[in-house]
Amino acid sequence: MSHQLPVSLELLHHRPAMIDVRAPIEFARGAAPGAVNLPLMDDDERRRVGERYHRNGNEAAVALGHELVSGRLRERRLGAWCEFIAAHPGALLYCARGGQRSGISQRWLAEAGVDVPRLQGGFKAVRQTLMAATEQAARAPMLIVSGLTGCAKTRLLLNLEHGVDLEGHARHKGSSFGRQPVETPSQIDFEHQLALDLAERPTPFVLEDESRSIGAVEIPLPLWEAMKQAPRVRVEMPLDWRIEQIRRDYIDDLWARYRDQYGQWLGWALMQRQLVSALVRLRKRLGEERLERLLQRQQHAFAQHRRSGNSRAHNSWLAPLLQEYYDPLYHHQLARNGQQALFAGDWQACLEFVADYCQRHHDEPMLGQSMAL
C-alpha cells in the first residue's frame, strides 16, 4: 500500500508519532517535531548508495541499497519500526522528500502486515510548512518586553498565555552566562518548535527583547525583523532586586540542574568551569584589570558557597558585572535604537499592562491570512 498524507500545520499541531527513516546525520541537522530516528540506512550505507547513484544512476543505487540492507539487518530494522508502531498506533513515516526510502520502508511494513501512512513530500514538506507558518507569524501583532539584565523578563512572559519563550526553545538564557546543562537544539529543530508555538498561541505575541543569536541558534530573520519594529514595554527594577534575580537564575537554578544531572562533585566542577569560562569570554569588553578583579571575587564566592551552601557570596562579582558591563551595554543599545516604550514600570505593573494590552488587542488581524489551524 502507498497511502500518503499531505503535510499541513493542522497535522503537525497534533504531534503525531513519526518515524524518520533518513540517516542519523540527516536527522541530527533537524527533523519533524517529535520524530524518532529509525533509519533505513545508516550514514555509511547512505554514503555508499549516494556514490553509486552519482556513478551509475538510480537503478544501480537502489540495487546496492537492497544489498546492503538485507537478511538479518533488514529484519532488525523492520522489527524496530514494528515495535515503535505497536507502541504508537497512528504513527507515520517520512524520509527526505517522501520518495524512495519511506516508500521502501512502507512496502516492507505492508509485507509484514503493518499498514502505515507516509508523509507526502517528506521532511522537505514539513520544513516548508513550518517556515511558512513563521513568516506568517512575523506579520502578526506582537509586543516586546525589554529591560536591564535581571528584570525577570522571561518570568513575566511565562505568566502570559501570549508569551513566546525564545530562550526556552533555544535552551539557553541568552547571555554569555546562559548556557544550560542540556543538549541544545539544532537550528532547524529550534525553528520548527518555535513555528509550532507561534502557530498555536494567540496574538499579539509577547516576546523578550533578544539579540538575534541565542546561544548556538538564531531567531528566524522574518521574525527578528518584525521584533525590531514592534512596540515595547520596559521593565524597571532596582539593582538589589536584579542581583537577587540573577543569582537565582545563573547560580542557584544552574547549580540545581548540574547537581541533578551529574551529582554533587562533578556537577559542582562543571558549573564552576562554565561560570569561569563565561566570565573569561568577556575579556575583550571587560579589559584585563577588571576581568582579573571579577575572577578573584568569583573564586572567593565559589569557596564560600561550597563551605556554607549559601550562594549570596556571588553578589560580590554579580553586582559589578551588572553595573560596569551589562547596564552600560543596555543603555548604549537603548540610545542607539531610540525607540520609545509604550509603558515603563516595575515588574508587576508591566505584567498588568501587558495582560491588559493582550486582552484589548487579542486576535487583531495580521497582514495576510489567519493563523488558525
* Residue whose cell numbers read 498565555: 161
Nearest to residue 322, comparing CAs of 257, 253, 238, 205?
Answer: 238
CB 354 within 8 A of CB 156: yes
Strands (E), 170-309: 205-208, 213-214, 217-218, 232-235
Q: Choosing from 95, 151, 350, 358, which is the catalytic residue?
A: 95
Q: Output the CA torsion sign for 321, 325, 326, 331.
A: positive
**Separation in Å, CA 171 to CA 129, 166, 180:** 23, 9, 7
Which three cell numbers, joined as nine digits, stand for 245?
A: 534575580
The verdict on whether 358 is a catalytic residue reads no
Q: SS3 for 206?
A: strand
- Kindly give the interhelix angle for 122-137 and 221-229, rounded to the nearest 10 degrees: 10
In whole angstroms, what is the distance from residue 263 CA to residue 257 CA? Answer: 10
CA-CA distance, 9 to 141, in Å (whole number)?
20
**At which residue does the C-alpha cell 541568552 appear?**
174
Cell numbers given for 42:
545508516
- The b-or-e profile of 23-38 (16+ CB within 10 A means b, else e) is beebbeebbbbebeeb
Number of H helices, E strands in the chain: 19, 12
Interatomic CA distance for residues 134 and 127, integer angstroms: 11
Catalytic residue set: 95
